[in-house]
Amino acid sequence: MNLTGLTSKQVQERIKRGRVNSSSHKNTNSIGKIIFRNAFSIFNLVNLILALMIISVGAYKNLLFVIIAIANTLISIVNEIRAKKTVDKMRLLAEQKPTVIRDGKHYQIPQDQIVDGDLLVLSLGDQIVVDARVEDGSIEVNESFITGEQDSIVKKAGDKLISGSFVVSGTCKATVTAVGEENFINKLESNAHTIKTADSKLFRLINNIVKYISFTLIPIGILLLWARFRVDGTSTEVAVTSTVAGLISMIPEGLVLLTSSVLALATIRLSQKKVLVQDLYSIETLARVDTICLDKTGTLTTGRMKVKEFISTEGQTQNTLENVIKLILSQTEADNATSTALKQKLLKRAKFEPREQIIEVVPFSSDRKYSGVVTNKAAYFMGAPEYLTDKKLDVSGDFRTLAVVKFKNWPSTESGKTPLKSNPELLGYVLLEDELRKDAREIINYFYENNVDVKIISGDNLKTVQNIASKTGVKDTSGIDLSAIRGEIDYEKLTKDYNIFTRVKPAQKKSLILALKKQGRTVAMTGDGVNDILAMKEADCSIAIGEGSDAARRSSKLVLLDSDFAAVPSIITEGRQSINNLERSAALFLSKNIYAAILAVLFIIIPLEYPYAPLEMSLLNFACIGLPGVVLALEPNIERIKNKFAKNILSFSVPTGITVAITMLVFSIIATNIGYNRAELITTSAIVTFAIDFLLIYSISRPLNLLRTILLTLIIGIISSAILFPFARSFLDFTLLTTDKLIIAAALIIVSYIVFLLTRLLMRTLIPKILQSAKNNI
């Protein structure tokens, strides 16, 4: 068996033949795809058709909407490419480089440099990124991402390792048998890290809006143009421009642009805090989080430990206890805070040489919660006392306690599956001390102040976790040791009765998360090890510690690259700000789409002159939707979202859309009977629509602050200038209204305000029922 790996010459030969992993799945779209998707969208196609219609009648100044569409497209492309480059760069930092053996030496290389036949070194926490075959050693792997089974599977020499699985125990050397698209996980057309699709209400809402409007734009446009020619005295230019004005208002490109831009900018801002966002829409989930589940290690504590004391039992010497611990440490390669602290204490100098013949090594796993070795004389194990002995040690709960036991005449069995016998010989205990985070209390207080419930899920001792939780400001320290429960566990009841859960196995962590979600909670889960992965996949939002296992990072939606848990409050703040502000801004954009759609249908049925022109709509879109939408989207706002995103948007946008539609219909009937000319028609419609839009902007801007007051003043100034200044008035085809027509406009505004208030009251009752009915029918 060759365990020196490939030679440099063999590696180069394989690279030349293309036998390299560079063709494996990439996590973000290419720049070319981003440009293509944004440039050749359905909305840009519609804009192009509308532009050609305007050109065909020579109304060139009405092409202003094309400039806005091009600007929107460019902004969207730039923002998305910036976010892509940021994410790609940070993923390179976050990505754990696999260890390979080449020319007999160990190297850490990027995954896309692995070649067919490379010799990998795999250990606890590693994600298996390519198909391979075990050559030496023994590991336990979890293939739940592929098979759905949660049990660990032992892999020994000759066994196949499947890409997408991860190592939960042990270490081995394995030969790469497939690269790139030949790997099992890529054949299934699945991401290497298998991230669950985000449960995004925002994503579903926008997709539905885009889908339904896309289907209706062309037929409505054709019918609307036909209806314009039915109006007596309508010229071709007026028919075309009014049709274009109606369709421009229906296109929700501003909403799509705003959403993608806000999420992209949030991703970039989080990257500045060394937070990698692997799923863009997880930012929305962050805004809705009301429960966060923490492991004390790396969150309440720094993750670093130190040995406080070795306690040998009666009849045993300190030297015997320490030698057994050295023996176990020398044979097990678990790289965690506990083993690191023990090695620093006991294996500082010369390499430990065992005096007994090693028959079997039992590596640590989160399910067993112990590790050990079997020799020709006895078996020695070290781990959680509850799993190794019935004897109790009365020590302060501030310490993590490990028991060290010995079994005589221990029979060797399959590695990792050794069942412990009763009544072992207890050699002693090890007391270890966690280092508390200096800012832990401040972080916990932030969660409480922002209505986020804190739950602690740990594999440690109950008393230890409760004491640490109390010191760091956790309000409710009621807890339960899950290892003490016999029989079936009612996880939903446990999550209601207790706040701290200890001696929790990986599958139990998952069950606790599912129980919390069943109660209607939006759950965030932090983790750093393979024991957290099952729970992290079920959480609404998973946050991995950067220094944790590769598998944990790949299973998460966000990664703390600096392993600084203090970044979590800013993550939640960013999520809330983005979605709260999107909610307000989306109401502006959607109101325009609603009244444009209603008016388009009405003016197909009723042969009246359409009251808008493209230039006028471009002005209203900028002053009453684009400008306030962008300003409001960038304001600080950290109020928790309460799963009412669609309701909150529709409760503002639907009344506004209905009010504008009704008012414009009434006005068009009045204008036809009184005899308004085209300039008077579009001027009055602009003033009345602006007044209704302004009421909406004012409603969603309350309570007013300096920025919002300046915004409202600026909007009034823009519209006033467009009507009062001769050059602007001439360019926009506006006119100064006579006194009688100003009175009509004022009356329409007053009536529209009454309609808005009545419609809003009605919608507050109807919208929740409509949404619930839609939800039940899905």
Catalytically annotated residues: 295
Distance CA 406, CA 404 (A): 7
CA 748 to chain centre: 46
Is the separation of the CB atoms in 585 and 648 below 8 Å?
A: no
Q: Which residues contact 624 (CB under 8 A, 6 or more apart)?
A: 588, 689, 690, 693, 694, 697, 715
Q: In this structure, is the dihedral angle defined by the CA atoms of residues 612, 613, 619 and 625, taken in order, positive or negative?
A: positive
Structure tokens at 724: 């009062």
Strand partners, 107: 100
Q: In this structure, is the dihedral angle defined by the CA atoms of residues 458, 548, 285 and 509, taken in order, positive or negative?
A: negative
Closest CA to 315 of 233, 427, 458: 427
What are the E-state strand segments in 633-686? none
Strand partners, 246: none
**φ and ψ of 596, to 5 deg:** -65, -40
Distance CA 542, CA 153 (A): 25
Place of tokens 């391979």: 132
Is the separation of the CB atoms in 227 and 604 below 8 Å?
A: yes
Distance CA 74, CA 83 (A): 14
The secondary structure of 328-344 as a DSSP string is HHHH----SHHHHHHHH
Structure tokens at 654: 């639907």
Place of tokens 């501003």: 254
Distance CA 215, CA 140 (A): 52
Place of tokens 């063999």: 10
Is the separation of the CB atoms in 112 and 22 below 8 Å?
A: yes
